[in-house]
A and B are shown apart, each in its own frame.
Chain A
Amino acid sequence: MTPPEALLSARALTVKYPYGDVQNVVINELDLDLYPGQIVGLLGESGSGKSSLALALMGLARHPGIVSGEVNFRGKNLLKMDDEELRQIRGNSIGLITQKPRQALDPLVNVGKQISRVYRAHSQASKADAQVRAVELLRSVGINDAERRVNAFPHELSGGMAQRALISMALSVEPDLLIADEPTSGLDVTIQAQFLDRMWERARDANIAVLIVTQDLGIVANYCDRIVIMEDGKIIEDRLTADFFADPHTAYGKKLILASGAGTKSSNAEVAIATTPEILRVTDLRKTFEVEGGKRLQAVSKASFQIHKGRSLGLVGESGSGKTTVGRLILRLADPDSGEVWFKGERIDSISPKEFRKYRSKIQAVFQDPFDSLNPRWPIERVIREPLDLHTEMSKAEKAARVKELVSLVGLTDDILQLRPGSLSAGQQQRVSLARALATEPEFLILDEPTSALPPAARADMIRLLKSLQDRLDLCFIFISHDLSTVRELCHDIAVMYLSEIVEMGTSEQVFSAPSHPYTRALLDSVLFHDPSSRRVDRKIKAELEGEIPSPVDLPAGCYLAARCPMAEQRCRDDHQALIEIGPSRSVRCWKSVEASK
């Protein structure tokens, strides 16, 4: 697909920022063409100049930046235009979607008015027409109940809805070019999939050129026709997506493909059900939090599961599903409202915090935020040594030896020992956290999204490390994550959570090969495989969910998924669902799935 003429073409585009006496070259002599109807994915590490390029293409690189070169849009150089001309072009022909949608919206004006303002600024429509158009636009990007939502203020919208309001604003003037800077970062996977599907459809239908800035190779593989990779302000690879995935030319491209593990959908193939002794048992765990107005938010409800020696449980769900709270309850970082936690036959949820400290050396944790998990004032050596100081009677020399052993166990070198956490990369920081957690040879670990804050390459390294440690140390852990492919790689068993409840449980193999609950199916469907030959948009979507996740403060009486579920019947809305066993170590919270499996 090579359309005759580029819609936008940048030639020798350079952006520099003066920094003290030197000039920081952010974009260096860059050439780029964008064609109508083509979706281009712009990748690169943070600091490679991706976002700067997105802004420069719109003529938004401003003082104190120094811009040279050309950005021709339909043959006219944007960089030579005055503000008024640029404003016309920006509104009429180029739309921008930024990260952090809520910050891009005016908090004092309802979204309908914001959309119609943009629309009216660039067309002659009357106020009433613009309002009608706003409703149409909101509906077209998949917001149900659009008539009511136009009157909503930004704070009343979820992140996903705000992002969609923003895209409808950008689309309201029917632009020829849409620039989206990490439009789905911070969105949940099912919402991300809904959003990208809509954007893809709109771009196809209206022949819009789209530039998506992203870090996620999955988005590129699934939605982009062409991939552009930046490094140090230059384009190092610019090719059709399929070609790139077949044979990346540059080292960075190869690293990306390798990191994504494309094609290696390996898993823990043991279908076998656990026979080793039980380490942890959780029964009927429940936790609510008080929120403003005296209401209670239900974070975890009726959570029951057990973990056996040498096995790992993946706790999967979107934000707000309660998966992190389950981990915190087990770690006694929060106290459950009711329910029991048993560790090797001893009940540990009702003992005093002081008594619980004895178990700390046996139950350890790694948290999501790599930097924030480490005391910023302590050298790494002290961080890793801390659990040894607290729980062992080792001599100084023994501790020093153990620290060194741990450092090499997690793939780091001794020279970081005297550094502070701030001078390590996120990947290294997370390894330090892991070394600290392993110091006392715990019998059980809680890994709370240890990979999700890491850049793609570091994430792949971390997963590889966990996998090798799992084999070598016979680790037993709960892995909390929203990333299904990671869970599949690391975990024997899986529990899928939705709005405070476990909706499906089973071995990895069972759940991945034959997902039963509609939510599990939708979740699996929204995984963006790093493989352009199995794109989500080409698949026939079997279990697409609609709309938004309900608020955990006002939960519906029936099944929590009923409002979004394509299979829902009246019975689903009326009766709350119980977790029903449908096979050995396999259960599901959906009567229709249970009936279908009989």
Chain B
Amino acid sequence: MMRKRKIDPLLLIGLIIIAGSLFLAIFGNSLAPYDPQEPVGDFSMPPSADHWFGTDGSGLDVFSRVLAAPRVDVAIAVTAAIVSAVLGTGVGLYAGYFTGRFSEIVMRVSDILQSFPVFILAMVLVTLTGRNVVNLIFVLAFLYTPIFVRLTRSEVVTQRTRTYVEAARATGNSEFQIATRHVLRNSLAPSLVQLSVTVGFGILLTSGLSFVGAGVRPPTPEWGIMIASGAPNIILNEWWTSIFPGIAISITVFGYAAAGNAIERWARK
């Protein structure tokens, strides 16, 4: 008896948002009606037909900046997530498959890293290494790697005891071949789910760092910077400068988290 395969609406929404964010990360700059880094009109203009989301305190077009920001936010988060996933999966595979002193050390280092509040640690590291995009990517990747190490390791530890591993050994694979050809492939599912969720976290962290002034520098179009620059003026009723990038962050983070959850649900079936 086949159950009707319905597409999970959560997955659909998530994928649409992810696709949109990636599209903007590549083409956002060219789609923007104005140059996002040059003043284009009066300061602090409310939304109008010319400036859909209004202009900010420096006369920059908010709509253009919202469209251009994914080039920074999404690019940083996606790159950092992929780097940490690759690194974490590799280390997790090794630590899980070859238990021993290395495995212990890796796990204790992960414990230490994960026991710090992510945001504070990120601020410290970015301040130490210097505020630019490449450093931000490395800091984020460094912070998210332990998550992937842990996920992969725990999956590897259970997969390792399955009979197919024993059979692979009896067939004549070396331990390295068993780990990479057999165990790795069967241990990837949790990391794939986590990848999507991590991109969401990464966007939050990137914009959060910029908001407190520890991320990329203004006037780079970036959602956190935009919220920060508009924040003092909200009490003057200039809501548009902060609200629109805020909505953009929410939608994007929701999209990545939703996709992650939907994939997890699908994988568990």
Contacts and interface: CB of A to CB of B under 8 A. Distances in A.
A481 interface: no
B101 interface: no
Interface in B164-202: 164, 166-175, 182, 185-186
Contacts of A390: 171-173
A436 B164 CA distance: 12
A390 B171 CA distance: 8
Contacts of A374: 164, 167
A313 to B, nearest CB: 18
A20 B167 contact: no
A357 B170 CA distance: 9
A86 to B, nearest CB: 31
A365 B185 contact: no
Given A372-B163, A373-B164, A376-B164, A364 B1 contact: no
B162 interface: yes
A369 interface: yes
A372 B172 contact: no
B268 interface: no
Given A19-B1, A369-B163, A372-B162, A377 B186 contact: yes
Contact of A331 (B163, B170, B182): B170
Contacts of B269: none
Contacts of B170: 331, 333, 360, 364-365
A22 B174 contact: no
Given A20-B3, A22-B1, A365 B172 contact: no
B1 A387 contact: no
A364 B171 contact: yes
B163 A354 contact: no
Contacts of A376: 164, 186
Contacts of A375: 164, 168, 182, 185-186
A360 B171 contact: yes
Given A20-B3, A372-B162, A375-B182, A433 B167 contact: yes
Interface in A431-450: 433, 436
Contacts of B163: 367-369, 372-373
B172 A391 contact: yes
B88 to A, nearest CB: 20
Nearest to A372: B163
A373 B172 contact: no
Given A20-B4, A377-B186, A387 B167 contact: no
Contact of A365 (B162, B167, B186): B167
Contacts of A24: 1
A372 B186 CA distance: 12
Contact of A367 (B1, B166, B174, B186): B166
Contacts of A368: 163
Nearest to A363: B170
Contacts of A22: 1
Contacts of B1: 19-20, 22, 24
A461 B175 CA distance: 34
Contact of B167 (A353, A354, A367, A391): A367
B7 to A, nearest CB: 16
Contact of B172 (A19, A377, A387, A433): A387
A441 to B, nearest CB: 14
A333 B178 CA distance: 14
A331 B169 CA distance: 9
Given A19-B1, A377-B185, A357 B172 contact: yes
Interface in A342-366: 353-354, 357, 360-361, 364-365
Contacts of B168: 375, 386
Nearest to B167: A373
Contacts of A331: 170
A317 B3 CA distance: 45
Interface string A8-19: 000000000001
A375 B172 CA distance: 15
Contacts of A365: 167, 170
Nearest to B161: A372
B120 to A, nearest CB: 41
B41 to A, nearest CB: 57
Contacts of B186: 375-377
A259 to B, nearest CB: 25
Contacts of A369: 163
Nearest to A327: B170
Contacts of A436: 167, 171
Which of B169, B174, B175 counts the most A-chain CB atoms under 10 A from its CB? B169
Given A19-B1, A24-B1, A376-B186, A361 B169 contact: no
Contacts of B162: 372
Nearest to B188: A377
Contacts of A387: 171-172
Nearest to B183: A375
A433 B166 CA distance: 12
A47 to B, nearest CB: 12
Contacts of A377: 185-186
Contact of B166 (A333, A353, A354): A333
Given A20-B3, A377-B185, A361 B164 contact: no
Interface string B143-176: 0000000000000000000111011111111110
B172 A361 contact: yes
Contacts of A364: 170-171
A357 B167 CA distance: 13
Nearest to B2: A20
Contacts of A433: 167
Nearest to B178: A375
Contacts of A373: 163-164, 166-167
A387 B171 CA distance: 6
A89 to B, nearest CB: 34
Which of B4, B163, B164, B166 counts the most A-chain CB atoms under 10 A from its CB? B164
Nearest to A361: B172
B99 to A, nearest CB: 16
A304 B106 CA distance: 43
B1 to A, nearest CB: 6
Nearest to B186: A377
A386 B170 CA distance: 11
19 contacts: A20-B1, A20-B4, A22-B1, A333-B170, A354-B174, A357-B172, A360-B170, A360-B171, A364-B170, A364-B171, A365-B167, A369-B163, A373-B166, A374-B167, A375-B186, A376-B186, A377-B185, A387-B171, A433-B167
Task: Please provide the 4 A-B residue pairs with the shortest distance between their CB atoms, ordered closest to farther.
Answer: A360-B172, A372-B163, A365-B170, A390-B172
Given A367-B166, A373-B163, A373-B167, 10 more contacts: A19-B3, A360-B172, A365-B167, A365-B170, A369-B163, A372-B162, A375-B185, A376-B164, A390-B172, A391-B172
